[in-house]
Amino acid sequence: MSLFTALLEKYSKPGPRYTSYPTAPYFHSGFTEADWIEEIRATQDPARGLSLYAHIPFCDTLCYYCGCNMVATGDYNKASVYLGFLEQEMDRVAALTDPRRQVKQLHWGGGTPTYLKPEDIRRLMGMMKSRFSISPDAEMGCEADPRELSREHLVALREAGFNRLSLGVQDLDERVQKAVNRVQPEELIHTVYGWARELGFSSINMDLIVGLPHQTVESFAHTLDRVLPWAPDRFAIFAYAHVPWMKKHQKLIAESDLPSFATRLDLQQLIHERLEAAGYLNVGMDHYARPEDEMIKAQESKTLWRNFQGYTTHKDCDIYAFGASSISQTPNTYMQNEKNLKKYQDLIGRGGLAVERGLKLNRDDQIRRDAITRIMCDLELDKPGFAAAWNIDFDAYFAEALTDLEPLAADGLVTLESSRIVVNDIGRMFLRNIAMGFDGYLKQASQDQPRYSRTA
């Protein structure tokens, strides 16, 4: 067993992905629509940017591994009706928003945003552009499923202003694809990728998943052999989280078909070695990018940020998220919409918003979120600077965290200096473990804990 694999085995344990802190399981229904409206009104700094998100929950078919909030349907009318509710929701939020604020980032996720017909892609973007001021240099990204995707879909995305595309590839092995009900031939993906390059998307990301049924090191090495020569700008290589107690449809995957723990560790080592050899840099966790990519530059300049869409180059933005299950964020508040599609539409149809739950951060939450974010994004934490910013004694405030980090330092994942905490190169694969030391909620009684996926 290599040192890298031994470390993966040692530190593989349940833990958050820290797309927020506190994490979403701690949002509560005591946070109301009135709270959210008050928060929007109180945070209208015209100089602060906006990030808009739209959740399109529809898919043509059900991928058995999916952990997203989605609805598999062949009835397109559901999407047409849904867009009407999105428009109502945008109207109400836009009415509370200072029109001088600039949208610096815009993202559509799902489900499958490209489930929408080309004319409805234009319709939805028209809704956003007519209600919010979108900066000419805004980063605009959309998730896309290569299946059922026509060139006309991509033309509509480009005409709408999208400059970034994320392609859901997952795995090219036919046996794996059949086991998760997502069959998409390599030729199809290559064709779609070629269209995207031809149409001038400035950045193309490919999503892959490890830990799917029937995957082996050999089969996934073949997938990497095929996709690496295409040279996408970024890769996001997620570890499949088998959580059938949360996502009932994952019971359609036979647990006996899933790779063994040892195989999953070998897959992680394969990815680390192959992407590094191909010239990609590990941003952190499961994200890789080319050295010239904006994400790498943002990390170097300490302007990288992390939110519910993952890593982003836009740090100082409030998120206004629209659609079922979507999560909005201001500097000190999170709000999640109703997840159930019918309930979401009922709430919007009554003339209000669709607030299901949320959270207002206290001072300890804010301090710990800042520490976790700096670890996850900057890969280091300047102790004197942090202490001065928050008016705390760093070593006293984080005494327990520093103790928790000592074994990780002994294993070379992190360096603990008198004035700095530095994530080492190999530690980039273990950012969740490093961040967990600063998580005050993980110290609560075990019976109060949500169930998280494993870190490796």
How does residue 456 score in pLDDT terms, banded at 50, 70 and 90? low
d(CA 249, CA 122): 32
- At 368-378, the pLDDT tens digits run 999 999 999 99
Percent of the chain with pLDDT over 90: 85
Computed over every residue of the chain, the mean pLDDT equals 94
> What is the pLDDT at residue 8?
84
- What pLDDT band is residue 451 in, cutting at 50, 70 and 90? low
What pLDDT, on the 0 to 100 scale, is given for residue 449?
62
Proportion of the chain above pLDDT 70, given as a percent = 97
**Cross-strand partners of 317:** 49
- Strand segments (E) across 240-372: 281-284, 287-289, 305-307, 310-312, 317-322, 327-330, 333-337, 355-360
Which distant-in-sequence residues (6+ apart) come within 8 Å of 451 by Cβ?
14, 243, 245, 246
Burial class of residue 230, CB neighbours in 10 A (0-12, 13-18, 19+)? middle
Q: Do residues 76 and 56 make contact, with C-beta atoms less than 8 angstroms apart?
A: no
pLDDT band of 48, cuts 50, 70, 90:
very high
CB 17 within 8 A of CB 433: no
Identify whether the C-beta of residue 113 lies closer than 8 Å to the C-beta of residue 90.
Answer: no
pLDDT-based confidence at 285, cuts 50/70/90? Answer: confident
* Choice among 216-230, 298-312, 326-340, 391-405 with the minimum mean pLDDT: 298-312
Inter-residue contact 156 to 118 (CB < 8 Å): yes
Would you state the pLDDT for residue 12? 84
**In the predicted model, what is the mean pLDDT of residues 5-31?**
90
- Residues 223-248, mean pLDDT to the nearest whole number: 93
First-to-last alpha carbon distance for the chain, in angstroms, is 16
168 contact partners, CB below 8 Å, separation of at least 6: 143, 144, 145, 146, 207
Start-end of H helices in 244-313? 261-277, 294-300
Q: What's the pTM?
A: 0.93
Residues 6+ apart with CB under 8 A from 131: 90, 91, 94
Question: 281 forms bridges with which residues in the sheet?
Answer: 289
Q: Which pLDDT score is estimated for 310?
A: 83
pLDDT for residue 284:
87
Q: Which two tokens stand for residue 90?
A: 């945008």
Q: pLDDT class for 1, splitting at 50, 70, 90?
A: low
* 343-354: pLDDT as tens digits: 999 999 999 999
Q: For the chain, list the domains and their CATH numbers.
A: 3-360 (3.20.20), 363-441 (1.10.10.920)
Q: Rounded CA gap, 298 and 295, in Å?
A: 5
Q: Which residue has the tokens 């998120």?
A: 319
What six digits make up the tokens of 140?
A: 């605009």
Which residue has tokens 């043509």? 60
- 310-312 vs 305-307, strand pairing mode: antiparallel
List, in order, residues 6 or more apart from 391 with CB less than 8 Å away: none
Neighbours of 176 (CB within 10 A): 23
Closest of 168, 138, 136 to residue 61, by C-alpha:
168
HSE, side-chain direction, 13 A CA sphere, residue 349: 9
Q: Is the pLDDT confidence value at 132 over 80?
A: yes
pLDDT at 120 over 90: yes
Residue 448 has pLDDT above 70, yes or no: no
- Name the more confident of 5 and 47: 47
Tell me: pLDDT of 455 over 70. no
Q: Which of 329, 359, 366, 374 is nearest to 440 (CA)?
A: 366
Q: How far, in Å, CA of 342 to CA of 326, rounded?
A: 14
